[in-house]
């Protein structure tokens, strides 16, 4: 009887160890896919800034503040993902596509916990608030936003956007594969 119990415990431990390995492996894969997604978003923002700066040289300052704000928001989202994967991996919903997933399920309690426990995150929130105030106070902001809208209708921008969507499609395929691997 003892041998049977020990054998079942060993089998159970093996399953547990395999499950933990899949979970840890999937978290690493989640990070890899997420980081590629965020890097692609950063590149999209930078290329959009370059395009606006080329077309409207007098709006370089506004465009730079807008870029800094968007990049800071991406840094914030990146920290939120890290928090979720570490503290609430069950809230990583792989049923959604990657674009939908990127709109993280985030609560005010999550915000409070992360800001309280991560000083860099709290500083990032402060930086975003400062950049938002600075951007909102700019005189040429409405002209910039109109020009930004015009840029988004250009062939050059559509090319940038297409490259971004191609990358997201590839990442989404990896995301779907990861979802299938986790089911196994």
Domain assignment present for residue 109? The answer is: yes
Q: What is the pLDDT of residue 39?
A: 94
Mean pLDDT of all residues in 104-126: 94
pTM, 2 dp: 0.79
Asked which of 13-22, 73-82, 85-94, 103-112 is least confident by mean pLDDT, the reply is 13-22
The segment with the largest mean pLDDT, out of 53-62, 79-88, 166-175, is 79-88
144 with 138: CB under 8 angstroms?
yes
Inside any domain, residue 7: no
Assess if residue 63 is contained within a domain.
Answer: yes
Range of the domain at 179: 27-183
As a whole number, the mean pLDDT across the chain is 81
Inside any domain, residue 8: no
pLDDT of 62 > 80? The answer is yes
Is the pLDDT reported for residue 6 higher than 50?
no
What lies within 8 Å, CB to CB, of 120 at 6+ separation is 79
Domain membership flag for residue 5: no
- Helix, strand, coil share (%) of the chain residues, nearest 5: 90, 0, 10
Answer yes or no: is 14 within a domain. no
Structural domains of the chain, count: 1
d(C-alpha 74, C-alpha 94), whole Å: 20
Q: Which residue has the higher pLDDT, 61 or 99?
A: 61
| 20 domain-assigned | no
Whether the Cβ atoms of residue 79 and residue 123 lie closer than 8 Å to each other: no
Q: Which residue has the higher pLDDT, 131 or 138?
A: 131
Q: What is the DSSP letter of 91?
A: G
């Amino acid at each position: 009887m003892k041998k049977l119990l020990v054998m079942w415990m060993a089998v159970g431990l093996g399953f547990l160890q395999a499950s933990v390995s899949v979970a840890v492996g999937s978290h690493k894969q989640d990070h890899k896919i997420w980081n590629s997604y965020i890097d692609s978003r950063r590149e999209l923002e930078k290329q959009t800034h370059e395009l606006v700066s080329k077309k409207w040289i007098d709006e370089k300052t506004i465009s730079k503040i807008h870029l800094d704000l968007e990049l800071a928001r991406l840094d914030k989202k990146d920290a939120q993902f890290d928090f979720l994967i570490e503290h609430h991996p069950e809230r990583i919903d792989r049923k959604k596509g990657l674009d939908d997933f990127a709109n993280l399920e985030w609560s005010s309690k999550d915000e409070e916990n992360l800001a309280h426990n991560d000083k860099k995150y709290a500083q990032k929130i402060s930086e975003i608030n400062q950049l938002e105030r600075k951007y909102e106070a700019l005189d040429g902001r409405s002209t910039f936003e109109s020009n930004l809208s015009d840029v988004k209708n250009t062939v050059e921008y559509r090319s940038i956007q297409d490259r971004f969507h191609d990358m997201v499609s590839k990442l989404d395929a990896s995301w779907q594969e990861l979802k299938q691997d986790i089911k196994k």
